Amino acid sequence: MNPAKVAVLAGGLSMEREVSLRSGSRIADALRDRGHAVTRMDLDDGLVDALVAADVDVAYLALHGKAGEDGVIQSLLELLGVRYTGPDAVASSLAWDKGVAKGLITRAGLATPPWLTLSSDAIRDMGAAGALDRILSTPGQAVVVKPAQGGAALGVRLVDDASQLPAALMAAFSYHDTVVIEEFVAGTEVAVSIVDGEPLPPVEAVPRTGHYDFSARYTHGATEYFAPARVSHDVLDACIDLAMRAWRVIGCRDVSRADMMIDGDGRPWLLELDTCPGMTETSLLPTAAHAHGWTFDELCERVLAAALSRAEVPTAS
């Protein structure tokens, strides 16, 4: 493709800043190797001036977490008339909140584990602690407690004993004031990445500790990856079908990653949709691209090409 002027946006004030910086460094290196003119930018109070001055063809978003994945930066770029990679502001904000995304997905008839949301206000001001014994009331049941907004498994806890629930809620509330309490699906952890409408091989993640937490995600060797996932072709197809349908329901474009669990019966359940997937060495999207025969450079360039294929957005008035 023709060399482009690219601003790689990474960092920001989100709790996933470190992961974002790692993603951004790798993307910037890859695009430079491919001959593009790359400028790296952080999200700070000089961003708008820097973007205007740089007069780039496209902004490559390597942002994870709040302000990067929730539609905020996307809206700002639309206002500035700067093309950017990834889903638009509306799709980003819909996928960003796990409760909202699960609601949309359920209404579209797709499978996502049963859940409820709980806010810290309800605990503090409405006596919701008195209702917690209704959760995990069935023996053998387990739930995943997670912040309704945020990624990288930050603040996420698996709870199979009601006595651990308050501590898990405290951990999740630290990241966001509303949490999603989701029925735990035991089985195989799989992620399906989609690049410009094309599904990549589903990647199976097998954390050595049994928990796919932050440490398992970002420590080399802490998780074994298999791509394609070690399940039957029918199940692989079902995973891809679920990811493609979720992509359409949310209205994605360019790139996304659907995280799911395959239960004991071979049925995939969608957990969440990531509109700006991690691009670190241990991340799932680059792993899927590798299994698909793409180098990392090629993956970055395909995402870039998808964004550049759109007409330049007119500046909002």
Partner 1 sequence: MSEINPDPYLARYASRTRGMTASEIRALFAVAERPEIAFLAGGMPYTAALDYDAVAEVTGRVIADMGPWALQYGGGQGMAELREQLVDVMAAEGIAAHPDDLVVTTGGQQGLDLVAKAFCDPHDVVLAEGPSYVGALGVFSSYQADVVHVPMDDDGLVPDALEDTLARLAGQGRPPKFLYTIPNHHNPAGSSLSERRREQVIELAEHYDLLIVEDNPYGLLDFKGETRPALRSFAPERVVYVGTLSKILSPGLRVGWVAATESVRDKLVLLKEAADLCQSNLTQAIAQQWFATQPWHEQVDTYRAVYRERCEAMLGELAASFPASCAWTTPTGGFFVWVTLPEGVDTRQLLAKALRARVAYVPGSAFFADGGGATALRLSFCYPPPDRIRDGVRRLSEVVAGELELAAALYGTRR
Q: Kindly list the residues in this chain that would bind partner 1 in the complex (CB under 8 A).
A: 13-19, 21, 44, 120, 123-124, 127, 129, 132, 152, 154-155, 166-167, 169-171, 173-175, 201, 203-204, 213-215, 217-222, 224-230, 281-282, 287, 290-291
Least distance (Å) between residue 258 CB and partner 1: 19
Give CA separation, 72 vs 56, 66, 75, 98, 229, in Å. Answer: 19, 8, 5, 16, 34
Provide CB contacts within 8 A for 177, sequence distance 6+.
Answer: 119, 120, 121
Q: Which of 75, 69, 77, 35 is nearest to 52 (CA)?
A: 77
Give the Cα separation of 139 and 9 in Å (integer). 47
Question: Which H helix or E strand runs over 75?
Answer: helix 72-80
Least distance (Å) between residue 193 CB and partner 1: 13
Give the residue with the Cβ less far from partner 1, 83 or 157: 157
Beta-bridge mates of residue 61: 9
Q: Which of 272, 307, 301 is nearest to 87 (CA)?
A: 307
Give the residue with the Cβ less far from partner 1, 35 or 166: 166
Least distance (Å) between residue 263 CB and partner 1: 21
Give the residue with the Cβ less far from partner 1, 232 or 309: 232
State the first-to-last Cα distance of the chain, in angstroms, to the nearest integer: 32
Least distance (Å) between residue 308 CB and partner 1: 29
Calculate Rg over the CA atoms of the chain: 19
Answer yes or no: are the C-beta atoms of 276 and 64 closer than 8 Å: yes
Give the residue with the Cβ less far from partner 1, 112 or 178: 178
Give the residue with the Cβ less far from partner 1, 109 or 221: 221
Least distance (Å) between residue 170 CB and partner 1: 6
Give the residue with the Cβ less far from partner 1, 113 or 228: 228
Triad 249, 255, 257: Cα angle to 5°: 70
Give the Cα separation of 309 and 103 in Å (integer). 32
Give the Cα separation of 289 and 275 in Å (integer). 16
Least distance (Å) between residue 207 CB and partner 1: 12
Answer yes or no: are the C-beta atoms of 297 and 27 closer than 8 Å: no
Least distance (Å) between residue 65 CB and partner 1: 9
